[in-house]
Each structure stands twice: as structure tokens, then as C-alpha cells.
Amino acid sequence: MKFTKMQGLGNDYVYVNCFEETVEHPEETARFVSSRNFGIGSDGLILIKPSEKADCQMDMYNLDGSQGTMCGNGIRCVGKYVYDHGIVDKTEIDVETLAGIRHLSLHVRDGKVETVTVDMGRPEQTSEIGEAITVLGKEYAFTGVSMGNPHAVVFMDGVKEMDLKEIGPAFESHERFPGRTNTEFVQVVDESHVIMRVWERGSGETLACGTGACAVAVACALNGKTGSQVDVELLGGVLNIRWDRENDRVYMTGPAVEVYHGEIGLKENNV
């Protein structure tokens, strides 16, 4: 199987061009290639496929093999891949996802895509603002926002020092979230800058989460903590998020990087 390793702010995936390749067992393949000891090493697998509705389709799988609906960092890299590799020859494209069609504006320098702005669609508030929840015996307040996938945003101090490996899984599998949830822990610096760490369902802590950053920006505005445009600082870097409240759409801008490409053998006992 030919593949390309790509990353957006360190949120890394193995990409397969399914205009040319076929992946018959994506769940098992995702688990195998994602292993940082026995495979390639990534946060998951993304298949770039033909689409009857858009310029291409993004089919994504988390490192545990579960299928994801949407990935903000992943879709930016999809945009870079299809342009840089000649699948599309335009800088305004549409990508089909399980969360719907997303429009991408590709920002090109020296013939290669450097950054991408994604119309992430309309956010959906999925909880009361500051809804109370008890996790591991401690009460928190969260604001639920869906960006095509579920997010629980928790505001707190000391985000950089918190034990995310303990609290993250407890939020993810809490009975309040029967389909599991992504959880963002956010410290507000000022009205245009916040710090975020994320525990992604099916993947654990990652260096960045694009949909999570969008959910955070919306939750910040709903809670009156920031304006409608904010720089979200993640472990892997900064995403700029703008919530156009008049049209009720969220726009995310950030980098997309191709790391390397290669081939890997998939044997029965591997997948």
C-alpha cells in the first residue's frame, strides 16, 4: 500500500490515495498503521476517495479503528494533497465527509498549498451553557458543541499542568455521552487568545484537534469569554478560528504539511 504521512499542527494521519489504491479492511488497517511501535505511527488513517457530490471524499479512522465523522486538521491536509498531487487544479474545493460537505480555500505559495481555510459549517449547541457534570468525584461545568462530531468544552486554570491521561478517558466514556465525546480543557488568556488541550474519543490526547478548536471558539463566545475570532493555542501550534455569527458558520485557518511518503506491506497477521 502506498501512503503519505501528513500533519496539521502535529495531528498526524496516514493518507492513502484511493483514486489509485484500494483499502479493503480500513478499521484493521488503521489500527496497524497507527501503531508508533509496529506500524507507521499516526493518530489514524484517512482515505482520499472519489466523490459524486464533491471534488473528493475524506473517509477517516481513529487509531483504535473506529470511524470518525470529521477532522479539521485532517481535512486541511486532504486539501493540500489533492492540489499538490494534481487531483484538483483549483484553489476553491469541496470535500465530502460523514459530517457533510466542507468548502476549502487553499492558500498556495510556490506551487504548493501552505495553509487552508475550512468552512467548518454550522455549530450546534448540545448542552446548557455551563452544564454541571461530576467526573471522578469532582464537579465540572461544560458547554457542549457539535461540529459534526461531539465536543464538551471545560474552562479551567492550570491546563498545561493537568493530568489529562486520568481525566480525559473519564470524560470520554461518561454516561452523559452515550456515543462518547471529545473533551477540550481551556484556559482563557484574553479576549482573543485561549490555551487548549484535547482528549479525542478513540485517539486520546493529540497535539491538535481542528473541530475541537472550532467548538472551543464557539463555547468561548457563548460564555462571553472571548470575541467571535480567537487564536486557539494547542500543543502543536495555533489555529485561527472565526465564528461568523450572522451567517452562523465557523471558519478555521491553519497549516498543512506533507511529512513523507512510502509503501508498507499489509499482511493477514498485521490487519
Q: What is the distance between the alpha carbons of residues 207 and 61, in angstroms, rounded to a whole number?
A: 17
The verdict on whether residue 200 carries a ligand-binding annotation is: yes
Q: What is the distance between the alpha carbons of residues 116 and 263, in angstroms, rounded to a whole number?
A: 27
Q: Which three cell numbers stand for residue 163?
A: 493530568
- Of 71, 77, 214, 220, the active-site residue reads 71
Nearest residue to 245 via CA among 233, 232, 226, 229: 229
Instruction: Report whether 40 contacts 3 (CB < 8 A).
Output: yes
Q: What is the distance between the alpha carbons of residues 211 and 149, in angstroms, rounded to a whole number?
A: 8
- Of 56, 77, 209, 214, the active-site residue reads 209
The verdict on whether residue 72 carries a ligand-binding annotation is: yes
Cα angle 239-12-243, degrees, rounded to a multiple of 5: 25
The verdict on whether residue 247 carries a ligand-binding annotation is: no
The verdict on whether residue 269 carries a ligand-binding annotation is: no
The verdict on whether residue 17 carries a ligand-binding annotation is: no
Question: Catalytic annotation on 71?
Answer: yes
What is the number of residues in the chain? 271
The verdict on whether residue 265 carries a ligand-binding annotation is: no
Q: Which amino acid is at 210?
A: G
Cα 216 to Cα 20, 143, 164: the distances in Å are 37, 9, 17
- Dihedral, CA of residue 82, residue 26, residue 20 and residue 99, to nearest 10: -40
Instruction: Report whether 14 contacts 33 (CB < 8 A).
Output: yes
The verdict on whether residue 11 carries a ligand-binding annotation is: yes
Q: Which residue numbers belong to the known binding site?
A: 11, 62, 72-73, 149, 182, 200-201, 210-211
Binding residues for substrate: 11, 62, 72-73, 149, 182, 200-201, 210-211
Catalytic residues, which ones? 71, 209
